[in-house]
Amino acid sequence: MTLAAPPCLPAPTLLAALHPATGAPGCREVAEEVAVALSYDGATQAVMMATPTALEDFALGFSLTEGIIEHPDELLATAVVPRPQGLELRLSLAAPRQAALLQRRRLLRGPLGCGLCGVESLEAAMRPPPAVTSDFRLPAAEVPRAIRALDQAQALNRLTHSMHAAGFWLPGHGLLALREDVGRHNALDKLGGALARQGLPRGQGAVLLTSRVSVELVQKTAMLGVAVLVAISAPTGLAIRTAAACGIALVGIARGSAFEVFSRDDRVIFA
């Protein structure tokens, strides 16, 4: 049996990248992500960042794994509606499942998208982050040192081999804070809390990540006021565009002595 390919595969986005040491320009293909609102009979249940492929499968699978339906026949219709902020999946449920979901929403505390249409939920999810106004610039030679220090400081990951880390690097001082978690977003949130508690100069250092860079991580970095984000894996196209828009230098694929700069290369000082 052969594995069926997901339908409607989009072409990866081809973006410019700068390479270390010389800062010579190059090109790299990066994956895309968009905000996808899953709306059931007019009310949004969730907004997820997703690759815009096989969306009908995504809608059905999400409905099953979240317990919204128990059988595929209970999802009556799926429509993909393009929006300026992303995509809306308009889903229609069989009457018993529609009633059960409504009751489930009433029992939940907090907003969770209840009562919001897909347009409003997409706008909330894709609210632009604040501009980063710091004048900080990171010497290129600091990137390999920072990533080595991040790897060496991951005590929990050495024990479990299942943890992400987020760290804060201050040139001249080294790795001042590190937090670990099974979730990459959680690790960055923990780091943000540590920076705030310790009163560290967020605008004069760099955030380090052990994961790929999706748009939420750029948004969180911008909220912290950090001007440089360095990760060991590649960013998505949306993450790159968001970083450029809010003034963050996005450095990816930082492994060994190699790395690539995807946005605001003026914030990286090449020898």
Strand-pair partners of 30: 13
How far apart are alpha carbons 17 and 2 in whole angstroms?
36
Start-to-end CA span in the chain (Å): 54
Question: 176 to each of 97, 129, 169, 173, how far by Cα in Å?
Answer: 51, 25, 6, 7
Rounded CA gap, 241 and 197, in Å? Answer: 30
Phi, psi (rounded to 5 degrees) for 267? -90, 0
Query: What are the distances in angstroms from CA 163 to CA 33, 147, 160, 216?
Result: 23, 16, 7, 18
**Element housing 91 (H / E):** strand 86-93
Q: Which residue intervals of the chain are DSSP H helices?
A: 55-65, 95-107, 118-125, 142-152, 155-160, 184-198, 215-224, 237-246
* Separation between Cα atoms, residue 215 and residue 268, nearest integer Å: 21
DSSP notation for 216-232 = HHHHHHHHHT-SEEEES
Q: Is 188 helix (H, G, I), strand (E, B) or coil?
A: helix
Q: Which two tokens stand for residue 55?
A: 């969306």
> Active site includes 114?
yes
Neighbouring CB atoms inside 10 A of 75's CB total 21
> Which residue of the set 27, 114, 117, 246 is catalytic?
114
Q: Which residues are annotated as catalytic?
A: 114
